[in-house]
Amino acid sequence: MTTATLGVEAIGSASAAIEAQYRARTRSSRMLYERAVHALPGGSTRAATFYPPYPVYMARGAGCRLHDVDGNEYVDCLNNYTSLIHGHAHPRIVAALADQIARGTAHGAPVEAEIALAEALTSRIASVDQVRFTNSGTEGVMCAIRAARAFTGRSKVLKMEGGYHGTYDAAEVSVDPRSDAPEWPAGRPDGPGLSPGLSGEVLVTPFNDLEVATAVIDRSRRDLAAVIVEPMMLATGAIPATDAFIRGLRAVTQEAGVLLIFDEVVTLRLSYGGGQEHYGVRPDLTTFGKIIGGGLPIGGFGGREEIMALFDARRPDPVMLSGTFNGNAATMAAGRVALDLLTAEEIARINELGDRLRTGLERVADDAGVPVRATGMGSLCHVHLTRDPVHNYRDVARARQPAIMSSLHLALLNHGVFAASRGTYSTSTAMTEADVDAVVAGFGAAVGSRGTT
């Protein structure tokens, strides 16, 4: 039995054959991984990029194509976990980087490009008066939460169960709780090394359940500094917020005097003014990352001027924020060009490609008799092995089949499709309809569909 004729029901029993084909195609990657385990714990410096038996190692990227060290080519539907919205090595971004690198990458002093990128963000996003840059979305979240606590004088934060906001301690609560997790609002630190005290400071509520969220906010308003939420929970499974939920959160937080933080590290790509423009909601603070760096490490946060004024170094008691590479010249130059390229027209085009992708994946899966729900919106997508509705973390948890997803991921790689092992896909401006159709065809082959597009 070959991977081209497998349905999802048979992938588990054919996992050995799928893995054998993967190993035969990726011998150089295996050699690099065997070398890596001696210098890196588990052979990796980034948990998300590891998958068994070993990850494929890439040699180069161009547009929406990746080429691994064994010469295999892939359509890139991962785009470095959605950060490369213009694909790989876009000529204008490369030129901007080359020009800046020739003049230095970081100077220990501000540069004009920092102002230009900040102005680009404040002009696009109605709720953002001022911004500060960091080096990751994790740091942007950390600083936004610190700002909320400093502004309100309160310590607690409310997040959504399953919501991923990076690896800051206060964000790593109930991102992936066990099935026996208690009912809300008690949160649970997700792993070793995290303070057990987080359970008292970080409250949790189910995504898309306004009734529970309202009750928790009302009970905790005297101690609650902020609610942090993604307009669409990507890492959990590309679950969009309902209009009623996201607008209701804005109303209840305003009434309670609690700040609302939108984590737009991923969702900024959904509209010209981000996910908040799509929903017609203005949060108090917004966190950024991924697409605003032009492919280089970046993060940031911004919001109302009266809150951001806490970071004004001219104050006698500012909230301190520094970082050796914050606002470095290379990232600022690349990010400014990346935002220039991300016009409203291009966003609409890649959103349409996302619609085509979700529809196509469900169609070929249905043709193969495989239960698949492709969630998401715009240029973001996630595949779940279920036909049941997916509204929150627990819906995703009930549908999980990790062994099947692992084998499906290797089967996709064997068919030239590079996506996240957990099932996340994204479209980029480097893609055309033909590229999306190639991904759909590869997915159809992996699940044993007779359809191709």
Output the pLDDT for position 263.
Answer: 98
Judge whether 165 lies within some domain. Answer: yes
Lowest mean pLDDT among 56-65, 177-186, 345-354: 177-186
Lowest mean pLDDT among 2-6, 218-222, 336-340, 420-424: 2-6
- Residue 153 pLDDT level (bands cut at 50, 70, 90): very high
Q: What percent of the chain has pLDDT over 70?
A: 95
Structure tokens at 92: 């204008």
Q: Based on the domain organization, do 213 and 362 belong to the same domain?
A: no
Q: List CB contacts of 343: < 8 A, sequence separation 6 or more.
A: 272
Check: pTM over 0.85? Answer yes or no: yes
159 is catalytic: no
- Residue 9 pLDDT level (bands cut at 50, 70, 90): low
Write the burial class of residue 24 (CB in 10 Å: 0-12 exposed, 13-18 middle, 19+ buried). Answer: exposed
- Phi then psi for 196, rounded to 5 degrees? -65, -20
The single-letter code of the amino acid at 97 is L
Mean pLDDT across 80-95: 98
- H-state helical runs in 84-152: 91-101, 112-124, 137-152
Output the pLDDT for position 170.
Answer: 85
Torsion from C-alpha of 339, 341, 342, 348, nearest 10 degrees: 170
pLDDT(218) > 80: yes
| Alpha carbons 331 and 37: distance in angstroms, whole number | 30
Q: Based on the domain organization, do 308 and 361 belong to the same domain?
A: no
The H helix count followed by the E strand count for the chain is 18, 16
- H-state helical runs in 270-328: 275-279, 305-308
Task: Please give the angle made by the CA atoms of 135, 140 and 141, to the nearest 5 degrees.
Answer: 140
| Alpha carbons 224 and 201: distance in angstroms, whole number | 9
Catalytic-labelled residue, pool 164, 279, 393, 425: 164
Judge whether 452 lies within some domain. Answer: no
Number of domains in the chain: 2
Judging by DSSP bridges, how do beta strands 156-160 and 224-229 pair with one another? Answer: parallel
pLDDT in tens, 155-189: 999 999 999 999 988 888 888 876 666 677 877 88
pLDDT in tens, 401-436: 999 999 999 999 999 999 999 999 999 999 999 999
Output the pLDDT for position 198.
Answer: 78
| Alpha carbons 144 and 427: distance in angstroms, whole number | 28
Q: Based on the domain organization, do 162 and 226 belong to the same domain?
A: yes
pLDDT in tens, 97-132: 999 999 999 999 999 999 999 999 999 999 999 999
Q: Based on the domain organization, do 176 and 147 belong to the same domain?
A: yes
Catalytic-labelled residue, pool 76, 263, 284, 435: 263
| Alpha carbons 31 and 373: distance in angstroms, whole number | 36
Q: What is the CATH number of the domain that holds 317?
A: 3.40.640.10
SS3 content of the chain, % helix, strand, coil (to 5): 45, 15, 40
pLDDT in tens, 224-250: 999 999 999 999 999 999 999 999 999
pLDDT in tens, 297-342: 999 999 999 999 999 999 999 999 999 999 999 999 999 999 999 9
| Alpha carbons 173 and 162: distance in angstroms, whole number | 9
- Domain span at residue 283 reads 91-341
74 is catalytic: no
Q: What is the CATH number of the domain that holds 67?
A: 3.90.1150.10
Structure tokens at 443: 């997915």
Q: Based on the domain organization, do 311 and 384 belong to the same domain?
A: no
Catalytic-labelled residue, pool 74, 290, 425, 435: 290
Q: What percent of the chain has pLDDT over 90?
A: 85
pLDDT(453) > 60: no
Judging by DSSP bridges, how do beta strands 299-303 and 285-289 pair with one another? Answer: antiparallel
Instruction: Please check whether residue 212 is in contact with residue 244, taking contact to mean a CB–CB distance below 8 angstroms.
Output: no
164 is catalytic: yes
- The gap from C-alpha 118 to its chain's centroid, in whole angstroms, comes to 21
